[in-house]
Structure 1
Amino acid sequence: MLGKPARVILAFTAVAPVSISLAYIFAARDRDWLMAILAVCVCLALGIISSWIVTAAVSKFEHLPISIKKVKSADKEVLGFFIAYALPLIFKGGSGQELGAWVLAGLMLMFVLWTTHALHVNPVLGLIGFHFYEVETQEGVTYLLITKKTINNLKAITTVIQLTEYGIVDSSIKG
């Protein structure tokens, strides 16, 4: 399984597109092109690192058999992420860009992620071809499955890598 730092990076990547909203604010309102470019680079870097974490886990971690009883798309969570990404655009007044406030919010998020079993749908990974499904095993345990496949058949996934306590990756993913 992944250590907590890698899990936190994966979770931060899920909210990384907020930095795209911030980049727009930096560029459109303040003409601060350096901060705008930096914000976009943060999003891109987190996406690349997360993709590497997932593909490296597939090649290095133990492949485990799985028998899936139920599967459903986890895409419904993307709407909540979209709203979070848009909030900085809505509240782009003078106080929305205070770096200290963003650092404090980031530290609070890191604390929550560090102390929970959270693994969420990750729209940044979705952009590079990953799909997210909520799957229930024959034993009745529910996991978030990350795969590059579109699942139309419960038997399509037979082995996985366990990323976190409740997060698994299709072992057929290639780097």
Structure 2
Amino acid sequence: MLNKIFRIVLTTTSISPMFVGIAIKKYSEIGRFNDPSVYIWIILFALMIFIPLPLIIRAKGNLELIENVSIQSIEPADQEIAGFLVAYVLPLITDIPKDNLILAFTLIFVWIAVIITHSYHFNPILSIVYRYRFYKVDEVINENCVRRSILITKKDLLDCEEVEKMSLVEISENMLLEV
């Protein structure tokens, strides 16, 4: 259950900077804060800053540690940065639909695309606010099988041996968190 909630929260926090763009655009169209939707978007963004923390604490305290992890390779997991930056800036350079249903559909579409493609590991909230780093690691399952996972840690990693010495929990399918 926790892994589904974690994926939903990571996905939502990964697209939450779009909320700020929408609020700025709505403010710039009106020129003042009379529109309550400006506040709603800012409040939604603020909530996304605080929601991950209890989940991370719960995951660190309640999930079983993974024993004897063998890592074949490690690399930063930030290749999707250009696509996300475009998505964050999009509300500022386009006309935001006046119809909230169209706006909601657009955000839900982006949210579904992020969750289906497993791109929620590019997450500025966890990176900037909580100082987490994301890495792609190839975990050796047996001599014929290697599994690609995302590792979330606060450390700057240089080699596989560092990961193998970490205390890790699996928070979601193919997602590891340093405890």
Between the aligned partners of 2:114 and 2:4, the Cα distance in structure 1 is: 8
Specify whether residues 113 and 81 from structure 1 end up closer, same or farther in structure 2 by C-alpha distance, changes over 3 A only: closer
RMSD between aligned residues? 2.2
Aligned counterpart in structure 2 of residue 130 of structure 1, from 129, 132, 140: 132
Specify whether residues 61 and 105 from structure 1 end up closer, same or farther in structure 2 by C-alpha distance, changes over 3 A only: same
TM normalised by structure 2 equals 0.82
Whose radius of gyration is greater, 1 or 2? 2
Specify the code of the residue in structure 2 equivalent to 1:132: F
Specify whether residues 135 and 3 from structure 1 end up closer, same or farther in structure 2 by C-alpha distance, changes over 3 A only: closer
- 1:58 is matched with which residue? 60
Specify the code of the residue in structure 2 equivalent to 1:37: Y
Offset at residue 46 of structure 1 (A): 1.3
TM normalised by structure 1 equals 0.84
Between the aligned partners of 1:105 and 1:9, the Cα distance in structure 2 is: 18
Segments of structure 2 that go 5 or more residues without pairing to the other structure are none
Question: In percent, how many aligned pairs have the same letter?
Answer: 22
> Is the contact between residue 117 and residue 164 of structure 1 (CA under 8 Å) also seen in structure 2?
no
Specify whether residues 74 and 6 from structure 1 end up closer, same or farther in structure 2 by C-alpha distance, changes over 3 A only: closer
Aligned residue-pair number? 168
Could you say what secondary structure the match of 1:150 adopts?
coil
Offset at residue 6 of structure 1 (A): 3.5
> Is the contact between residue 144 and residue 167 of structure 1 (CA under 8 Å) also seen in structure 2?
yes
Between the aligned partners of 1:106 and 1:88, the Cα distance in structure 2 is: 11
Could you say what secondary structure the match of 1:28 adopts?
helix
